[in-house]
Amino acid sequence: MSLLSNISWRSIALWKRNRDVFLTTWKTNFLPPFLEPILYLVAMGLGFGALIQADIEYGGKSLEYIKFLAPGLVAISIMYGAFFECTYSSFVRMYYQKTFDAILATPLSLEDIIAGEILWGATKSFINATIVLGV
Protein backbone atom coordinates (compact mmCIF):
# COMPACT_ATOMS: atom_id res chain seq x y z
CA MET A 1 0.00 0.00 0.00
CA SER A 2 1.41 3.36 -0.96
CA LEU A 3 1.70 6.43 1.19
CA LEU A 4 -0.61 8.45 -1.05
CA SER A 5 -3.43 5.94 -0.61
CA ASN A 6 -3.27 6.51 3.16
CA ILE A 7 -4.00 10.25 2.84
CA SER A 8 -7.62 10.93 3.65
CA TRP A 9 -9.93 13.48 2.08
CA ARG A 10 -9.82 15.32 5.40
CA SER A 11 -6.10 15.93 4.98
CA ILE A 12 -6.80 17.22 1.49
CA ALA A 13 -9.43 19.57 2.97
CA LEU A 14 -6.82 20.99 5.35
CA TRP A 15 -4.40 21.35 2.44
CA LYS A 16 -7.11 23.27 0.53
CA ARG A 17 -7.65 25.52 3.55
CA ASN A 18 -3.94 26.36 3.68
CA ARG A 19 -3.94 26.91 -0.09
CA ASP A 20 -6.86 29.34 0.17
CA VAL A 21 -5.08 31.30 2.90
CA PHE A 22 -1.93 31.35 0.76
CA LEU A 23 -3.83 32.64 -2.26
CA THR A 24 -5.40 35.36 -0.13
CA THR A 25 -1.98 36.60 1.00
CA TRP A 26 0.02 35.69 -2.11
CA LYS A 27 1.79 39.03 -2.44
CA THR A 28 3.48 38.74 0.95
CA ASN A 29 4.21 35.05 0.38
CA PHE A 30 6.10 35.60 -2.88
CA LEU A 31 8.44 38.32 -1.65
CA PRO A 32 10.67 36.39 0.83
CA PRO A 33 11.46 33.44 -1.48
CA PHE A 34 12.25 35.94 -4.22
CA LEU A 35 14.54 38.18 -2.17
CA GLU A 36 16.28 35.52 -0.08
CA PRO A 37 18.52 34.02 -2.80
CA ILE A 38 19.39 37.49 -4.07
CA LEU A 39 20.41 38.54 -0.55
CA TYR A 40 22.48 35.36 -0.11
CA LEU A 41 24.24 35.84 -3.44
CA VAL A 42 25.03 39.47 -2.73
CA ALA A 43 26.24 38.85 0.83
CA MET A 44 28.07 35.56 0.37
CA GLY A 45 28.98 35.81 -3.29
CA LEU A 46 30.01 39.39 -3.79
CA GLY A 47 30.82 40.35 -0.20
CA PHE A 48 32.66 37.28 1.02
CA GLY A 49 33.64 36.20 -2.48
CA ALA A 50 35.73 39.34 -2.93
CA LEU A 51 38.07 38.00 -0.25
CA ILE A 52 38.65 34.75 -2.11
CA GLN A 53 41.07 35.25 -4.98
CA ALA A 54 41.75 31.72 -6.19
CA ASP A 55 39.37 29.56 -8.17
CA ILE A 56 38.00 26.47 -6.46
CA GLU A 57 39.03 23.06 -7.72
CA TYR A 58 36.06 20.68 -7.78
CA GLY A 59 35.88 17.41 -9.67
CA GLY A 60 39.05 18.19 -11.56
CA LYS A 61 37.63 21.47 -12.85
CA SER A 62 38.33 25.02 -11.83
CA LEU A 63 35.27 27.03 -10.78
CA GLU A 64 34.82 30.63 -9.83
CA TYR A 65 33.66 31.06 -6.24
CA ILE A 66 30.24 32.44 -7.17
CA LYS A 67 29.56 29.55 -9.58
CA PHE A 68 30.56 27.11 -6.86
CA LEU A 69 28.41 28.83 -4.25
CA ALA A 70 25.20 29.53 -6.21
CA PRO A 71 23.74 25.97 -6.39
CA GLY A 72 24.28 25.47 -2.67
CA LEU A 73 22.60 28.76 -1.83
CA VAL A 74 19.62 27.85 -4.01
CA ALA A 75 19.32 24.46 -2.28
CA ILE A 76 19.58 26.06 1.17
CA SER A 77 16.90 28.57 0.27
CA ILE A 78 14.52 25.82 -0.86
CA MET A 79 15.14 23.64 2.20
CA TYR A 80 14.79 26.60 4.53
CA GLY A 81 11.40 27.43 3.01
CA ALA A 82 10.10 23.92 3.69
CA PHE A 83 11.59 23.88 7.17
CA PHE A 84 10.11 27.26 8.05
CA GLU A 85 6.65 26.31 6.77
CA CYS A 86 6.55 23.03 8.69
CA THR A 87 7.90 24.44 11.96
CA TYR A 88 7.36 28.12 12.62
CA SER A 89 4.27 28.62 10.46
CA SER A 90 2.61 25.57 12.00
CA PHE A 91 3.55 26.83 15.46
CA VAL A 92 1.98 30.22 14.77
CA ARG A 93 -1.21 28.55 13.52
CA MET A 94 -1.27 26.34 16.61
CA TYR A 95 -0.21 28.68 19.41
CA TYR A 96 -1.08 32.25 18.45
CA GLN A 97 -3.87 31.96 15.90
CA LYS A 98 -5.50 28.91 17.57
CA THR A 99 -6.30 27.53 14.12
CA PHE A 100 -5.65 23.96 15.22
CA ASP A 101 -8.14 24.33 18.08
CA ALA A 102 -10.81 25.23 15.55
CA ILE A 103 -9.74 22.41 13.23
CA LEU A 104 -9.84 19.85 16.06
CA ALA A 105 -13.47 20.84 16.69
CA THR A 106 -14.26 19.39 13.25
CA PRO A 107 -14.21 15.69 12.27
CA LEU A 108 -10.47 15.87 11.49
CA SER A 109 -8.20 13.74 13.64
CA LEU A 110 -4.70 14.70 14.73
CA GLU A 111 -3.27 12.38 12.06
CA ASP A 112 -5.30 14.18 9.39
CA ILE A 113 -3.95 17.52 10.58
CA ILE A 114 -0.36 16.28 10.53
CA ALA A 115 -0.77 14.78 7.04
CA GLY A 116 -2.41 17.97 5.76
CA GLU A 117 0.36 20.14 7.20
CA ILE A 118 3.04 17.90 5.65
CA LEU A 119 1.27 18.06 2.29
CA TRP A 120 1.07 21.84 2.53
CA GLY A 121 4.74 22.08 3.55
CA ALA A 122 5.72 20.05 0.48
CA THR A 123 3.53 22.21 -1.75
CA LYS A 124 4.92 25.44 -0.30
CA SER A 125 8.45 24.11 -0.75
CA PHE A 126 7.69 23.38 -4.41
CA ILE A 127 6.33 26.91 -4.85
CA ASN A 128 9.44 28.36 -3.19
CA ALA A 129 11.69 26.19 -5.37
CA THR A 130 9.94 27.45 -8.49
CA ILE A 131 10.39 31.06 -7.39
CA VAL A 132 14.04 30.57 -6.38
CA LEU A 133 14.98 28.78 -9.59
CA GLY A 134 13.31 31.58 -11.53
CA VAL A 135 15.61 34.11 -9.88
Please indicate, yes or no, if residue 90 is contained in any of the structural domains.
yes
Q: Which domain holds residue 102?
A: 7-134
In a domain, 97, yes or no: yes
On the question of pLDDT at 1 being above 70, the answer is: no
Q: For residue 19, what pLDDT is reported?
A: 94
Would 24 be classed as within a structural domain?
yes
Has residue 2 been placed in a domain? Answer: no
Q: Does residue 27 belong to any structural domain of this protein?
A: yes
21 assigned to some structural domain: yes
Task: Using the predicted structure, report yes or no on whether residue 83 has a pLDDT greater than 70.
Answer: yes
How confident is the model at residue 4, as a pLDDT? 62
Model pTM score: 0.76
| The total number of structural domains that make up the chain | 1
Average pLDDT value for the chain: 84
Q: What percent of the chain clears pLDDT 70, i.e. is strictly above it?
A: 93
**DSSP character string of the chain:** --TGGG--HHHHHHHHHHHHHHHHTHHHHHHHHHHHHHHHIIIIIIIIGGG--SPEEETTEEE-HHHHHHHHHHHHHHHHHHHHIIIIIHHIIIIIS-HHHHHHTTT--HHHHHHHHHHHHHHHHHHHHHHHHH-
Summarised one tens digit per residue, pLDDT across range 27-62 is 888 888 888 878 887 887 777 777 776 777 777 888
Mean pLDDT for 89-115 is 90
